[in-house]
Amino acid sequence: MKIAFFSTQSYDKEYFTRYNTRHELVFFEAPLNETTVALATGCNAVCAFVNDKLNATVIQQLAGLGIQLIALRCAGYNNVDLNAAQTYQIKVARVPAYSPHAVAEHAVALILALNRKTHKAYNRVREGNFSLDKLIGFDLYGKTVGVIGTGKIGEVFCDIMKGFGCRVLAFDLVANKHLEAKGVEYLPLVTLLPQCDIISLHCPLTEQTRHLINTDTINLMKQGVMLINTSRGALIDTKATIHALKTGQIGYLGIDVYEQEEKLFFYNLSEEIIPDDDIMRLMSFPNVLVTSHQGFFTDEALTQIAQTTLLNIDDFESGKPLVNKVI
């Protein structure tokens, strides 16, 4: 099959070329949207990432080009109009789990860096400033950590925080019995939020979870809470979060995702004026740490993404059941 890859980075080419044995891969740096969909002309499938826009118009155009498969090289599929894909009989497959450890460990890295102010200490020492002033952190041991979403990533994160000696509370629609056996306590969200020193988000983005973190839920949290998001940017109402940072209701914020990230993340904008006032305001706070959707970025995860995506394409071409199909 001939597959058009969109939103391609150098590492995508490296890993997919390494593990491809039978397909013709065409790589485009441009994201997939209404203005770039024609690049898929002559291909049988497209391979898309988190910020590609597969709305009804794009899917209709893909169908007109003869595209039969949308192979997502990510777990989330909130950027795909599934009803349109079904209407035009285009199959959608994804990578449901590529390395839960990668994302969970990155969430912990954000916690440790924010708490112990490692990023600030690094910059100070490089400038010859060996002062410890304003670098006070806190022991993670004994703290209460709230985990919203206990799928594969959330489960690994819970295990890690239990290893630090934290009390771990969780919220999910279905309780994980293995975690409960390890001492994780499931609570309603309104009961969980006021008890937590740290809250970490590990749930998918749906209509029900969009802006799960908003003015009302923030006001339920402890004063000075640490909030971590390595899941989906729109789980957090950015403007409400900025206000909470200004008042001190949120004491620390670590995000690897952002509501409007498709215009920013994965690009070098160091020589440009960034027009997004919200992200610039967030980066101006001394107690905010932003990384650009790198939680998945490990050798193990990139290998799994490439191998699973190519397997999905192989199975589709061979007429086998799509184990990782969305529709």
Q: Which residues have a catalytic role annotated?
A: 232, 261, 293
Yes or no: say if 4 and 320 are a contact pair by the CB < 8 Å rule.
Answer: no
- Phi and psi of 92, rounded to 5°? -125, 125
The per-residue b/e assignment along 149-185, b for 16 or more CB within 10 angstroms, e otherwise, is: bbbbbbbbbbbbbbebebbbbbbbeeebeebeeeebe
Which among 16, 18, 15, 12 is positioned nearest to 50, based on CA atoms? 12
Yes or no: say if 235 and 201 are a contact pair by the CB < 8 Å rule.
Answer: yes
Yes or no: say if 91 and 324 are a contact pair by the CB < 8 Å rule.
Answer: no
Amino acid at 183: G
| Angstrom distance (rounded) from CA 293 to CA 123 | 22
235 to 4, 60, 212: CA distances (angstroms): 30, 29, 5
